[in-house]
Chain A
Amino acid sequence: MSTSGAVATAADAARIERARALVAAVPDPEIPVITLADLGILRDVRLEEGRICVVLTPTYVGCPATEAIREEVLRVLADDGLADARVEVTLSPPWTTDWISEAGRERLRAYGIAPPHTMADGTAAGEAPREQPIRLVRAQPAGVACPRCGSHDTERLAAFGSTPCKALHRCRACREPFDHFKPY
């Protein structure tokens, strides 16, 4: 019994890892250069009574990409023979842009989107961030670096952009407009 149990466990672990690798590589539908793993919204992959269960957390609560992401995750798993996989959505702990990986930040920059600055101080990835003090009229974030030329001589044009997570900025050095992934 114990031997077959150990075999089953190893096989299960391999299944979970395979499913996790597939799901981790799914691109964000709005910003396809980064993956779900880069974005930090893939919270867990586990086996429940023989079925793969993928735990995701939403970015913005109203973001229309959430549904597309869920469907894509199920499609990728079904293509790999896991048609009975399911997706569970958890809200807690709430997603924060601090969970975007270093590789993800670099890919955002290369894509022309200034990555978010960190909100939390000294909290490790995966931990709930320390809350920002609630301030009303925030000072403009000091010169978000232009993803094209690197200059900090930039200004915010609009606090809301083409997706819920982005704001529109302009670089005064190279004159190019660019998106900034808002700290959340």
Chain B
Amino acid sequence: MSVHLECLLRLADSALVHSQRLSEWCGHGPILEEDIALSNIALDTLGQARLLYQHAAQLEGAGRDEDALAYFRDEREFRNFTLLELPNGAGPRDDYAVTIARLFLQSALMLHAWDALRASSDAQLAAIAAKSLKETRYHVDHAGQWLVRLGDGTDESHARAQAALDRLWPYTHEAFEDDEIDREAARIGLAPLWSTLRPAWLATIDAVLSEATLRRPVDTPFRSGGKSGAHSEYLGYLLAEMQVIARAYPGARW
């Protein structure tokens, strides 16, 4: 697979898998307004995924379309960051703090990534980035405000927000750990070198964490490998649920 295609699939799969996790709250949100907000954000990221898949399919030129890329690839072929496939909760129950913390960490990353991708040598990717950036600003804003409310809220909400950050933080390193594909994509002007985005990302994170009275977790050596196809045990279950209808009724229309 070409570096160009790999690069698009990392973005597309990350958007799709995050959208799928966010949409799990649809009908289960803690309050109606949040149910609607998370569903809206899931829809935005799904829209990003669709544009990226359509572009990737056209680039590949192998007869696959956006649905083939989303529904008919297996776990090892997905290139999303591992962070995004982790469940919405730390235990058997979904935890809103985990969802909000992840939404904040990922949206803050994409805020800087989309901003840089507007200068991509791939004109269509640059156009997708310019549109996605506008929506991502609302996502960062929303998640950031909730993180402040949770962190600077009750003892219980503070403890759960901190636990969520502690749990997710080790998985954030993957994005900034440049591999051969990242380096080649940067060399040909397709994408920024992701490691260079980290200082700006940390500044965005720190500003909110300090207002939220939360502590930035300590960096550890653990590195997840989702962007190379080495996923956690959670992705298979997520894909099974997401892909089952398309695979049971291939080509179905509604």
Q: Who on chain B is nearest to A63 by CB?
A: B47
Q: Which of A64, A90, A138, A161 sits near B141, CB closer than 8 Å?
A: A138
Q: How far, in angstroms, from A157 to B36 measured CA to CA in the complex?
A: 12
Q: A136-B207, A137-B208 are in contact. Are A159 and B142 (CB under 8 A)?
A: yes
Q: Mark B116-141, 1 if CB is under 8 A from A, else 0.
A: 00000001101110111011011011
Quick check: B144 and A137 within 8 Å, CB to CB? yes
- A61 engages B48 (CB within 8 Å): yes
B230 on the A face (CB < 8 A): no
**CB-CB contacts below 8 Å: B106-163 with A:** 111, 115, 123-124, 126-128, 130-132, 134-135, 137-138, 140-142, 144-145, 148
* Interchain CB contact under 8 A, A61 and B33: no
CB pair A136–B37 under 8 Å, yes or no, is: no
Q: Is B95 an interface residue (CB 8 A)?
A: no
Kindly report which residue of chain B lies nearest to residue A95, judged by CB atoms. Answer: B131
Chain A, Cβ-Cβ closest to B208:
A136
Q: In this complex, what residue of A is CB-closest to B51?
A: A61
Asked whether A94 and B127 contact (CB < 8 A) given A61-B51, A160-B36, A164-B44, the answer is yes
Within 8 A of B (CB), among A138-181: 138, 157-162, 164, 168
Contact residues in A for B48 (Cβ distance below 8 Å): 61-62
Interface residues in B23-54 (C-beta closer than 8 Å to A): 33, 36-37, 40-41, 43-48, 50-51
Q: Complex Cα distance A95/B127, Å?
A: 11
Judge if A60 is at the interface, Cβ distance under 8 Å. yes
Asked if B50 and A136 make an inter-chain contact with CB atoms under 8 angstroms apart, the answer reads: no
Q: Which of A60, A91, A138, A160 contacts B33 (CB 8 A)?
A: A160
Alpha-carbon gap, A64 to B43, bound state (A)? 9
Q: Are B137 and A134 in contact (CB under 8 A)?
A: yes
Bound Cα distance from A66 to B111, whole angstroms: 24
Q: Which residues of B contact A159 (CB under 8 A)?
A: 37, 138, 141-142, 145
Nearest-Cβ distance from residue A19 to partner chain B, whole angstroms:
25
B211 within 8 A of A: yes
Give Cα A158 to B36, complex, Å.
9
Is A117 at the interface (CB under 8 A from chain B)? Answer: no
B228 interface residue, CB < 8 Å from A? no
Contact of A61 with B44 at beta-carbon distance under 8 Å, contacts A136-B144, A137-B141 already known: yes
- Asked whether, in the complex, the Cβ of A134 is within 8 Å of the Cβ of B208, the reply is no
Given contacts A61-B135, A62-B47, contact A91 B37 (CB under 8 A): no
With CB as the reference atom, state the residue of chain A lying closest to B104.
A136
Which among B48, B123, B127 has the greatest number of chain A C-beta atoms within 10 A? B127
B243 at the interface (CB under 8 A from A): no
Q: How far is the CB of A98 from chain B (nearest CB, A)?
A: 12
Interfacial residues of chain B within 63-97, with CB under 8 A of chain A in the complex = none
The answer to whether residues A136 and B204 also contact, given A63-B47, A91-B51, A164-B40 and a CB cut-off of 8 A, is: yes
> Which chain A residues in 119-144 approach chain B with CB under 8 Å?
132, 134, 136-138
Shortest A41–chain B CB gap in Å is 12
Contacts of A111 in B (CB 8 A): none
In chain A, positions 47-93 with a C-beta closer than 8 Å to chain B are 58, 60-64, 90-93
Cross-chain contact A182 with B204 (CB below 8 angstroms)? no
Q: Please pick, from A63, A92, A168, the residue contacting B127 in the complex, using a CB distance under 8 A.
A: A92
In the bound assembly, the distance between CA atoms of A60 and B131 in angstroms comes to 8
A94-B130 contact in complex given A61-B47, A137-B211, A160-B37, C-beta closer than 8 Å: yes
A159 to B134, CA, bound (A): 14
CA distance A94 to B37 in the complex (A): 23
Please measure, in the bound complex, the distance between the C-alpha atom of A182 and the C-alpha atom of B111, giving whole angstroms.
18
- Ordered by A's residue number, 10 sampled pairs between the chains whose C-beta atoms are within 8 Å are A60-B44, A61-B47, A61-B50, A63-B47, A91-B127, A132-B137, A136-B204, A158-B33, A164-B40, A184-B134
Q: Which residues of A contact B (CB under 8 A)?
A: 58, 60-64, 90-96, 132, 134, 136-138, 157-162, 164, 168, 182, 184
